[in-house]
Structures are given as structure tokens and as C-alpha cells.
Structure 1
Amino acid sequence: MPHPFRRLRTPALLALGALSLSACVSLGGKAPPFLLTLDSDVAPVVGEARSAGEAQTLTILIPNAPQKLRTTRIPVQQDDASVAYVKNAQWVEAPQRLFQRLLSETVAAKTPLVVLDEGQYLTAPGEQLASQLLEFGVDARTNEAVVSLQAMRVAAGGKTVTQRRFEVREPIGGKIEAKPVGEALTRAANKVATDVAAWLAG
């Protein structure tokens, strides 16, 4: 069954160098001094053997994402039409893949499901969780990190489909800089993953 569903350089953004955001976001291409990743709040499932028939497995697919998230940089939504990126901040890999791994770890730890990655689903795909990562960045208007996910649970055989949207906002608590932004996004991502796991377990 098919899945559901740069940086923006506008003249306005380039001209507004005097804004308070000018010290914390960057439109340039310099390499960051360090890389960010997502740490899971749950302990990984180690040493526990799980077996399941096809109907009890869940394949968590890598989320789709809009163009502004198809980068290792962290977007800052300045207004409805303008996006910049956090200065000196970069993920170790695409945020869709980082979140998919975090979500898989969380669901495996918090539910009895046998969680499969895309590379394993050909053996016994069972249910599938497809999704779209709508937001994974900073809302400068509220100084919050935002993680928003549209999830679609597809039953084995594709007979039924259930959708739900999840969103968590976490205050950054300071300037829009790499460390506080990374920490706030990690908290938000873990909360979304926990909410998804509770939905799947229910």
C-alpha cells in the first residue's frame, strides 16, 4: 500500500539582518562545530526474546517530510512564509531517520509488539506505521521546539487504516542556539514517541 502522504532565501530574510534572530540563525553554509542526535528516554530492549506471528508485528516506516526538513539542519520558522536555520547546529543524519529509530526503540520498550525496521518487513510485515513528520524544528514566534507527526496505522493486509496526529511543543528557555534547541527537540521527540506508543498499545 503506498505511503500517505533549503533553505529559503527570500529578499526579506536577507535584508533583515538587524533582527534579534540574526545572532542565532544562519543562512550560510559553514560546517557546525558539533553534531546533534536524538537520545531515547527509554532503555533499549536487550536480551529479551520476542516471537510473534505476522499479525503481531509492526513495521515502522521512515516518515515522509516536507522539503524544509529534508536536510540535516534545524529549521526556524520566523513567520508564515520565512524559514532560516539554527546557527552551528546539524543532525548527524536526516531527522526522519533519527526519529524513526527513536520511535522504534520507544514502541519496542513500551509495548509487547515485535517492532521491525523497513529492511526486515519483507519477512513478516504485519501492521505498518507510516507517517509524515510535519514539523521538527523551532517556532521563533513562541521560542519553542515543535515536533508534529501525522501517523497512519495500517492493519496487516491493508484492510483497515487509522490516522492520528501528534504534536508536542517544548520551551527552549533561552536563545535559539544549538544546545538548547537540540535538548528541547529531544524532549519533544521523546514525548511524541511515547504518545504514539500509547496509541499503538491501546
Structure 2
Amino acid sequence: MTRLVKMGAIGAAALTMTGCISLGSEPPESLLTLSPSVTADAGTGADASTSDASSAISILPLEAPAKLDALRVPVAVSDTEIAYLQEAFWVEKPARLFRRLLGETLRARGGTLVLDNDDTPLLAAQSIRGTLMEMGYDAPSSSVIVRFDAIRTREDGTVMSRRFEARETGILAEPASVGPALNRAANTVADEVASWVTNAG
């Protein structure tokens, strides 16, 4: 498994191990990101007044475990060992990327004002939050996994939760294969969450 960088017991030590990624002055050749498979058409939109935000839905900042609180792609080597995929760097932390992906997926369905910006002054009556549990590579099964535990608060105060997961198997442990596969899996999860939100009323 030559393309994996193993984590040491002390996180900083991993950067000094033989064959590890250098985070020095030279930037990586390319960065990974998430691109929506569907987008809202130019010129389309929705609005809601600050006094009546019942038609708006806010996507709140998402939680993530420590292994995803980084710009690197985690790899599950075993049940008790985690590594990072060599030469694979996200342009932003995965939870922020997935939050925007989910927002654009909901926006593309139309008819709802979607707020996924921390600076918005509008307090939406509906919200989506949750934890991005997995967005990485599983070495034993040669697969990528995206898992999101979503919590939806409706305008009447009802709170619902659901786990969403997508995976693709037969993926080589290299950025050129893992990156696109994670993007497809993330879009599958975002689409399922959007369907859950819009169909639940």
C-alpha cells in the first residue's frame, strides 16, 4: 500500500516519517473538491422576507470527526488503524465542501430559498445540520464511503434524523481514482438528503 501515509501515535510525527507527504512551501500539483452533478439554472432563485422565513431552509455548519477535520483523505487500513492517502489534498475541509454541495443540490430543485452561508441575516424556520461521519477510502474493500447523519428541524419544531450512505467499490488507492469516486458518492448522498427534505413536506 505504497500510496498511503500512516498516522503515528503523535499526529505531528506522521509528517516526519519516511515517504510521508511534505506540507512545505511547494503546493500540491492538484487539489480535490466536490462538484454538484446538478445545479440551479442561471436566473432562477427564491426569496423570503425576514419576517416570514417559513419557505427558507438553512444548512447549518456540519460536524465532523477529527480524521475529517483536515485537508487530507483518510484511509481505513483496518478497524483500528487510519492512514492518509498520499498526494491527495482537499481544497477545503470536507464538511465545508459537503455543506455547499448539499446547498446547491437543494437549490437546484427550485422553489425553496436555501441558506448555506454563515453570514446570512435571515433566520430560516427550517434547518438541516448533522455530522459528516465518513468521506474517505476503505482499503480492505477498495472502496470509497460517504456517510452523513442528518438532522432536520421543520417549521413546526419537529426534529427528524436519518443516516445516509453511499459507496463505490473497486477503486484504486490513488487520487486520480479516489477523488472522482468520492465526488460521485457525495452527490448521491446529497441527492438522497434533498429528496428526504423535499418529500417530507
Instruction: Tell me the TM-score normalised to structure 1 length.
Output: 0.82
- Which AA in structure 1 matches 2:123? A
Counterpart in the other structure of 1:108: 107
Scaled by the length of structure 2, the TM-score of the pair is 0.83
Separation in structure 1 between the aligned mates of residue 132 and residue 6 of structure 2, nearest angstrom:
17
Distance change >3 Å, CA 36–CA 97, structure 1 → 2? same
Asked whether the equivalents of residues 45 and 111 of structure 2 are also in contact (C-alpha less than 8 Å), the reply is no
Aligned to 2:16: none
- Residue 77 of structure 1 aligns to which amino acid in structure 2? A
1:49 corresponds to which residue?
45
2:185 corresponds to 1:192: no
Structure 2 partner of 1:21: none
Q: 1:162: which partner in 2?
A: 160
RMSD after superposition: 2.2
Write the distance in 2 (CA, Å) between the matches of 1:170 and 1:42.
20
Alignment of 1:1-202 (within 5 A): 8-10=7-9, 27-30=20-23, 32-52=28-48, 53-156=52-155, 159-173=157-171, 175-202=172-199
> Please, which runs of 5 or more residues in structure 1 have no aligned partner?
1-5, 15-25
Structure 1 CA distance for aligned equivalents of residues 139 and 111 of structure 2: 39
Number of residues of Structure 1 aligned to a counterpart in Structure 2: 182
- Alpha carbons of structure 1 residues 7 and 176: separation in structure 2 relative to 1, 3 Å: closer
Sequence identity of aligned pairs in percent? 37
The whole-number CA distance in structure 1 between the counterparts of 2:170 and 2:34 is: 16
Q: Distance in 2 between matches of 1:47 and 1:28?
A: 43
Structure 2, unpaired ranges of 5+: 14-18
Q: Is the 8 A contact 2:56 2:125 kept in 1?
A: yes
Distance 1:83-1:116 versus aligned 2 partners, 3 A rule = same
Q: Is the 8 A contact 1:168 1:192 kept in 2?
A: yes
Distance across 1 between alignment mates of 2:127 and 2:44: 22
- Show CA shifts across 1:154-192 (max 9, x none): 1237x210000000001253x200110001000000000
- Does the CA contact (< 8 Å) of 2:45 and 2:110 recur in 1? no
